[in-house]
Amino acid sequence: MAFYYEEPCHTFNEYLLVPGYSSAECTPDNVSLKTPITKFKKGEEPAITMNIPMTSAIMQSVSNDTLAVALAKEGGISFIYGSQTIEQETAMIAKVKAYKAGFVTSDSNIKPDQTLADILELKQQTGHSTVAVTNDGTGTGKLLGVVSSRDYRVSRMSVDTKVSTFMTPIEKVIYAKKGATLSECNDIIWANKLNSLPVVDKDGCLCYFVFRKDYSEHKENVGELLDPQKRYVVGAGINTRDYETRVPALLAAGADILCIDSSEGYSEWQKRTIAWIRGKYGDKVKVGAGNVIDGDGFRFLAECGADFVKIGIGGGSICITRETKGIGRGQATAVIEVAKERDKYYKETGIYVPICSDGGIVYDHHVTLALAMGADFVMLGRYFSRFDESPTNKVNINGQYMKEYWGEGSNRARNWQRYDLGGAKKLSFEEGVDSYVPYAGSLHDNVQTTLNKVRSTMCNCGALTIAELQQKAKLTLVSSTSIVEGGAHDVLLKDSNNQVK
């Protein structure tokens, strides 16, 4: 006879936090959101600690190099998606590591025989106002000139105007030679009142750009997450098929931490993958595993040697695994049970293995609930897909700007490795959908709003750290009617023009 759980599983939306005593010192400014992402022994410090408890999902529509840089500036880690070629993924990792070093590989490039229309289209795609003009239109071609917003006026020029006629030619471009230090490049920028400085090699080919704004941002982003070489920390997704070739390449490109991308992690395939990494690199290489939804799955991966364990099956907004396969569990229940097993494992072994809640988060306060229930950090897909920095297109749907968002199990992504059970190398059926999400603007503004809410709620619970929140939190299940009571009700709402909705 099958095993039956006596209690139904629950989602985050079915819980509320009950306030605790707040002292005078318990203010949002005093709250620390630092959290471990890698396992550590009792009395020791983790190899990697995040400054905020947020990571981005290993998805094509979420985590590329642009989002990775933006999230690292806030203090979190993005996991570059692995459902691409090894060369493509390593190139993204390399871009992130080069960005903080100040030398940025150009991704806005054009040929001299293209037109103003092409410039405008490129600016729309990338959001960048500085475009390199190279002989072959690549970021490593021979630099022929530079186009900035000061070089053209749309109202006075035909969109058919050739780039070569209005670009600033190389003869008038101030640039640095490859080998110049970042400090020397910044001195050139400040001395010549430049916004950007190209760096070229001995053959005149473009290598990098150095931007004035990066220097300013470094001073502003006090919580940014850096490696020992002062570069941004970045993660990378791997699978259980080509890890023997993918992992060495990702590490060579500079990846700080890896994560096995799989819909279900309680498997021989993840055990083999972790064993190979441990056999070749020992504990020096950090790798997370998952996903699991109960204590047995956590203990299995912890004993395999995972640095952190991801929790969640079927809870993502674009995931239909529960509908198609009938497996999964309410995210709140899964986090609570895995957290209990994590604590039990820590008492038995003295090794603390961080856990990550992946999926099921709809509202900002769900992040706080996940942390209170025991998660050390959360992984978010839909949340980050809405921002400027995500890799998808912004489109106008019925007068509202939206961003494209699709699951790794969708026909569009066809990430069969994520759902691999050792059979044929193909996606037999869809476990994700292709969709749109409302466009929300910049990552920085939204993340800061979310974290302000988390800090405020933690103060309501009398906690100044995530560990203290987990000790002091009091959680209550809510009824369907109390959920209704929790929102605006029994009133007529006014819109921004004071009109009744």
List residues bridging with 451 in a β-sheet: none
The answer on pLDDT for 101 being more than 80 is no
Distance CA 454, CA 33 (A): 9
Catalytic residue among 26, 319, 356, 461: 319
Structure tokens at 327: 């497996």
For position 430, what pLDDT does the model report?
Answer: 61
Distance CA 36, CA 376 (A): 7
Query: What single DSSP character describes residue 310?
Result: E
Tens-digit pLDDT profile for residues 191-229: 999 999 999 999 999 998 998 887 776 667 789 999 998
Q: Rounded to the nearest 10 degrees, what angle do helices 86-100 and 243-253 cross at?
A: 20
| Residues above pLDDT 70, as percent of the chain | 93
Sign of dihedral through CA atoms 341, 347, 353, 359?
positive
Distance CA 274, CA 290 (A): 11
Tens-digit pLDDT profile for residues 7-19: 999 999 999 999 9
For position 348, what pLDDT does the model report?
Answer: 98
The answer on pLDDT for 420 being more than 80 is no
Mean pLDDT of the 432-453 span: 92
CA angle (405 as vertex; 122, 86 as ends), nearest 5? 70
Mean pLDDT is lowest, of 135-144, 198-207, 339-348, 433-442, for 433-442
Burial environment of residue 242 by CB neighbours within 10 A (0 to 12, 13 to 18, 19 or more): middle
Phi, psi of 352 (to 5 degrees): -95, 120
Query: Given the DSSP bridges, would you call strands 109-110 and 257-260 parallel, antiparallel or unpaired?
Result: unpaired
Mean pLDDT of the 92-120 span: 90
Catalytic residue among 418, 455, 459, 461: 418
- Judge contact between 432 and 320, C-beta under 8 A: yes
Confidence of residue 501 (pLDDT cuts 50, 70, 90): low
For position 417, what pLDDT does the model report?
Answer: 60
Confidence of residue 98 (pLDDT cuts 50, 70, 90): confident
Exposure string over 258-284, b if 16+ CB within 10 A, otherwise e:
bbbbbbbbbbebbbebbeebeeeeeee
For position 500, what pLDDT does the model report?
Answer: 61
Mean pLDDT of the 265-285 span: 96
For position 317, what pLDDT does the model report?
Answer: 77
CA–CA distances in Å: residue 200 to residues 122, 208, 454: 22, 7, 45
Which candidate, 320, 330, 326, places its Cα nearest to that of 427?
A: 320
The answer on pLDDT for 350 being more than 80 is yes
Distance CA 469, CA 477 (A): 18
Which candidate, 494, 492, 491, 459, places its Cα nearest to that of 473?
A: 459
Instruction: Say how many CA atoms lie within 13 Å of 138 toward its Cβ.
Output: 6
For position 194, what pLDDT does the model report?
Answer: 92
Tens-digit pLDDT profile for residues 390-404: 999 899 999 999 999
The alpha carbons of the chain give a radius of gyration, in whole angstroms, of 24
| Residue 185 bears catalytic tag | no
Mean pLDDT of the 115-137 span: 91
DSSP sequence for 434-476 = EEEEE--B-HHHHHHHHHHHHHHHHHHTT-SSHHHHHHH-EEE
SS3 of residue 231 by DSSP: coil
Tens-digit pLDDT profile for residues 148-188: 989 999 888 999 999 999 999 999 999 999 999 888 999 99
For position 416, what pLDDT does the model report?
Answer: 46
* Distance separating the N- and C-terminal Cα atoms of the chain: 54
Confidence of residue 24 (pLDDT cuts 50, 70, 90): very high
Locus of tokens 């920390």: 233
Q: Which residues contact 383 (CB under 8 A, 6 or more apart)?
A: 361, 450
Mean pLDDT is lowest, of 118-132, 313-327, 444-458, for 313-327
Mean pLDDT is lowest, of 265-274, 375-384, 409-418, 429-438, for 409-418
Mean pLDDT of the chain: 91
The answer on pLDDT for 301 being more than 90 is yes
Mean pLDDT of the 224-253 span: 95
pTM: 0.82
Tens-digit pLDDT profile for residues 475-499: 999 988 777 778 777 788 887 666 6
